[in-house]
Amino acid sequence: MDDSHDQVRALARTRWTIAILLTAVMVAVYFGFIALIAFNKPLLATQLAPGLTLGILLGVLVIVVSWLLTWIYVRWANTHYDARLEALRR
């Protein structure tokens, strides 16, 4: 019984590690974007195409990165976490 309890704790630690890592990436991306807004507005005003500035593009990329990080977590949870948890329940 102790062994399965240790395995559950290890699995929970792994889940927290991945969640914290992905959260740190999202925080860095978001606050990096906010820092650019605060400290380098002329850079963000750079026209890339008619009607498209670097700021708009980076704003969209922040949203895309959040979706990507969510997808990474869900994929990991579905393929690794859920399978290991189910194996421990048996």
Q: Look up the pTM and report it.
A: 0.84
Low-confidence ranges of the chain (pLDDT < 70): 1
3-state secondary structure of 1: coil
For residue 42, what pLDDT is reported? 96
For residue 66, what pLDDT is reported? 98
Contact (Cβ atoms closer than 8 angstroms) between residue 32 and residue 65: no
51: left (phi over 0), alpha (psi -120 to 50) or beta: left
3-state secondary structure of 90: coil
